[in-house]
Amino acid sequence: AQGGGRRAADARTAVGSSDAPMGEPVFARIAALMKQQADLEERTASCAELRQLSRQELEELRHLARPPQVVRDCLEVVYVCLHVEAVHHELQRLPPSGRMVIDWKAVQAMLARFEAFFPAMKHYDISPLVAAPSVADYLARRYFGEGGLTEGRVQRCSLACAGLFSWCSTSLSRVHAALELLRIEAELAELQQPSGRWRCETERGWLEYPGHIHDKLVEVEASGNNSTLCIELGNERYEVDVVARTQRNCSSGFARPIRPPGARIDLRALQGTWRLSLGGLATVNGAVVMMNGQPAGGQLEPTTDGVVTWAFAGGRWRAGGDPLRVVWSLDGMDEVPWEAAAKQHPKIQPLPLTLQQPRKAAEEGQEDTKETAWIPPPHSVRKLLASPPPTARSNYRLEGASERWVCKIDRGWMEYPADVDERLRDAQVSGGPVEFVMDGERFQADLDTRTQRNLTSGILRPIRPPPGDALDIWALQGLWDVRSSGVEKIRVRGAVVWLDGQESPERLESWAGAVKWRF
């Protein structure tokens, strides 16, 4: 939390953009594409609403000898969506502007299979249509062009068909979103091609170093005699450590990750500190891996096929991907993406966690460094198109109710003694920090940041008020993890909220039993 202005300067001067081929317009385009990518993934994953018709309604449609053209067109669209492979085969025989004739008897046979008809629509997989975009284009041109199907026309003609039309239009919208998503992913892959230079991570993404600094970094790593290099960018002075893969601002101490050129995964590319997608940190130094401060039993072993293998926790791991995003797979089943992450300050040590527990973070100071066993994830964490709604969970989850203030220790949440609890309750009214002695040690509790500091060692631990208290602005203070969203952190201080460092223009408003906030 030190020096927001200094960090902004770090972001602007981390690399010399004037000498880098990937300039600001490219990063703006990448940011815009990634926003579109998130929106399209949400649209693609949303399921189409379906009002299930009764057997009698389907029978009435099936027994129409000469159905109105609107009804027939709507049912033909449903037929095409459920028989993509056969329709695609027929379309390949037609000229570009040709029209395919769908036998009405085939549509009637589809409606007769009542037990299979609605389950096929309810659990509809759009991948066949995505794989055959010509079929989706034909449906749009043939049935939804000028003078084609609309919700109003279908509803006036048949209420039963209106529900089917809504399903068709939503499914086709998902298909077009998926096709656009493929185009955007291809453009992103082209813009984010492997770099030919050393890079540093900034708020704008991974930026290349200027040519003369890249040449020095190559020389330093090749020499093997000295792992550090002092450089100047803008008006700032930095110390670059090619072994730890970090760039540190000599004035503020703020560190950022750096990565070597190329796209091959090897021991050199894995060096430094990494953040797991399930929480926790890993540090690779040479062939040794530290998981949340605990050394792994096995060492990394390079192989000849561009991957790194690693025996740990009874399984065989393989590392692939690229130097910015590594995917570790256990026995070819589970994938754990790691992203390069620099510690915010060189003195901060990662808090020991198990991957099954919520990720914890302290606002400042030194964390506890006692070792905790790391447990490999029991399931795949591949990225899914379907995403749950954004939620937030406190970094410091309470387990069981308590009538007193509590502090997080290695064994869990510990209640404060009655005299300390009484002083903390008084401070809720009077404000200010609270100093006290407990077990022969002096501590200072900050109720604003919900932390307890050991005045001797400087170790910070989270504290929480009695969970029986009603939810209000006071209970929201501190740092929060966001689940299933592009935002990673929410910080609440008073009535002010920050999302990943961006301050909200609005303030929290306390209501009865809830806190409302627009952002």
At residue 157, what are phi and psi to the nearest 5 degrees?
-90, -40
For the chain, the residue count is: 519
Tokens, residue 316: 């065989």
Architecture field, domain 4-22+195-259: 2-Layer Sandwich (3.30)
Torsional class of 177: left (φ above 0), alpha (ψ -120 to 50), beta (otherwise) = alpha
Three-state SS at 491: strand
What is the pTM for the complete model shown? 0.40
Q: Sorting pLDDT into bands at 50, 70 and 90, what band is 368?
A: very low
Predicted pLDDT of residue 516: 65
Pairwise CA distance, residues 199 & 261, whole Å: 7
Q: Cα(468)–Cα(310) distance, rounded to whole angstroms?
A: 46
Collect all residues with Cβ–Cβ distance below 8 Å to 316 and sequence separation of at least 6: 309, 310, 330, 331
Fold for the domain defined by 391-516: 3.30.720
| Per-residue model confidence (pLDDT) at position 435 | 92
The span from the CA of 362 to the CA of 322, in Å, is 30
Query: 97-102: which pairs have CB atoms within 8 A and are 24 or more residues apart?
Result: 99/142, 100/138, 100/142, 102/76
Sheet containing strand 199-202, edge to edge, reads 205-208, 199-202, 255-259, 246-249, 236-241, 228-233
Q: Is 341 helix (H, G, I), strand (E, B) or coil?
A: coil
SS3 label, residue 148: coil
pLDDT at 9: 38
Highest mean pLDDT among 287-291, 295-299, 330-334: 287-291
Q: Domain 55-189 carries which CATH code?
A: 1.20.920.20
Q: Quickly state the pLDDT bin for 306 (edges 50, 70, 90).
A: low
Residue 446 buriedness (CB in 10 A; 0-12 / 13-18 / 19+)? middle
Phi and psi based region of residue 272 (left: phi greater than 0; alpha: psi -120 to 50; beta: remaining): left
Cα–Cα nearest to 407, from 393, 422, 426, 420: 420
- The token pair that represents 448 in the structure block: 């604003």
| Angstrom distance (rounded) from CA 340 to CA 263 | 14
- By CB atoms closer than 10 A (0-12, 13-18, 19+), residue 301 is exposed
Interstrand relation of 255-259 and 272-276 (parallel, antiparallel or unpaired): unpaired
User: How do residues 377-405 score in pLDDT, each as one tens digit?
Assistant: 322 222 222 333 334 443 333 334 457 88
**Once rounded to an integer, what is the mean pLDDT over residues 115-137?**
85
Helix (H) or strand (E) holding 157: helix 151-157
pLDDT in tens, 151-173: 899 988 888 888 888 888 888 88
pLDDT in tens, 487-502: 677 777 767 787 777 7
- What is the rounded distance in angstroms from the CA atom of residue 20 to the CA atom of residue 131? 38
Residues 6+ apart with CB under 8 A from 80: 87, 102, 135, 138, 139
Higher pLDDT, 243 or 15: 243
Residue burial 210-231, b: 16+ Cβ < 10 Å; e: rest: beebbebbeebbeeeeeeebeb
Q: Is there a common fold for 4-22+195-259 and 391-516?
A: yes
Question: Token pair of 453, please?
Answer: 């500091």
Return the higher-pLDDT residue of 281 and 352.
281
Domain spans of the chain, in order of start: 4-22+195-259, 55-189, 391-516
**426 or 328: which carries more pLDDT confidence?**
426
Task: Count H helices and E strands in the chain, helices first.
Answer: 14, 28
What is the C-alpha end-to-end distance of the chain, expressed in Å?
22
Q: What's the pLDDT tens digit per position in 84-116?
A: 988 988 888 888 778 889 999 999 999 888 888
